């Protein structure tokens, strides 16, 4: 794609979990290559919903979702773009499911058909990126909350995505791990949409922020 093209475009998005619980009301949004954008808002305002609509875990009631230049309407449209758009869940336990760190990080690249030799190198390089070299054989259930969050991020980075969707990436982290996450994100080349309640964190890793109110996004200075 052209570097000036929109990686993600949401046009007139309407979404509700029920008739009584309408979340998004004509929301518009664009993300371009290299951009880092923060989404803030109150609980239940729709921040996580936006990320899930982009990746196809939810479908809008009305409106157009375009990802990497392709309109995405049904499940088969989203399947190929999930290789290039990585979603970090709020809870690392929702992301990690293999017995060891190495197996979790290797899972995505192996599913893409990469050979074991290449995948082993990907695992090593990715762990080095997040500062966890030597954790390959560690059982994931024995990791601390911060370590689980970092390994969850590693499982996404191992896929070499074009876009990162990060849902509360510093939630529950101690100060040293929070700083490590900030350092990692500031050095990653991918475009990012980051949902967070942590305004100080966002101010260090994004160039623009939007506040979601009444089902729409508004620039926050």
pLDDT (0 to 100) of residue 66? 98
**Is 215 a member of any domain?**
yes
pLDDT at position 204: 97
- How confident is the model over 77-90, as pLDDT tens digits? 999 999 999 999 99
Q: For 93-146, how does the pLDDT look when each residue is reduced to its tens digit (9 = 90+)?
A: 999 999 999 999 999 999 999 999 999 999 999 999 999 999 999 999 999 999
Query: Residue 183 falls within a domain, yes or no?
Result: yes
Question: Starting from the edge strand earliest in sequence, which strands make up the sheet with 62-67, in order?
Answer: 22-32, 6-16, 62-67, 70-71
- 71 domain-assigned: no
Q: Give 153-162 pLDDT, tens digit per residue.
A: 999 999 999 9
The pTM of the whole model exceeds 0.75: yes
User: Is 14 inside any structural domain?
Assistant: no
CB contact at 8 A, 90 and 171: yes
Number of domains in the chain: 1
- Domain extent, residue 173, equals 36-58+82-220
Percentage of the chain exceeding pLDDT 90: 96
* CATH code (residue 173): 3.40.50.300
Mean per-residue pLDDT of the chain: 95
pLDDT-derived band of residue 64, with 50, 70 and 90 as boundaries? very high
Choose among 157, 127, 3, 77: nearest CA to 169: 157
Domain assignment present for 179: yes
For residue 19, what pLDDT is reported? 85
**Within a domain: 15:** no
In a domain, 173, yes or no: yes
In a domain, residue 130? The reply is yes
């Amino acid at each position: 794609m052209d570097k000036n093209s929109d990686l993600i475009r949401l046009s007139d998005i309407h979404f509700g979990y029920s008739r009584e619980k309408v979340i998004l009301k004509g929301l518009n949004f664009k993300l371009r290559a290299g951009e880092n954008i923060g989404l803030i808002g109150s609980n239940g305002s729709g921040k996580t919903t936006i990320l899930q609509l982009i990746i196809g875990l939810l479908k809008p009631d009305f409106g157009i979702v375009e990802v990497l230049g392709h309109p995405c309407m049904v499940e088969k449209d989203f399947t190929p773009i999930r290789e290039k758009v990585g979603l970090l869940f709020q809870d690392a336990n929702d992301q990690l499911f293999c017995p060891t760190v190495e197996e979790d990080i290797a899972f995505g690249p192996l599913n893409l058909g990469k050979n074991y030799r290449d995948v082993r190198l990907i695992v090593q390089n990715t762990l080095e990126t997040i500062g966890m070299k030597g954790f390959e054989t560690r059982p994931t259930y024995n990791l601390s909350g911060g370590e689980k969050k970092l390994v969850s991020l590693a499982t996404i980075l191992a896929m070499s995505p074009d876009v990162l969707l990060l849902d509360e990436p510093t939630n529950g982290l101690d100060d040293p791990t929070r700083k490590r996450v900030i350092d990692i994100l500031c050095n990653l080349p991918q475009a990012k949409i980051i949902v967070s309640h942590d305004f100080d964190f966002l101010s260090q890793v994004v160039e623009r922020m939007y506040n979601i109110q009444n089902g729409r996004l508004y620039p926050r200075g």
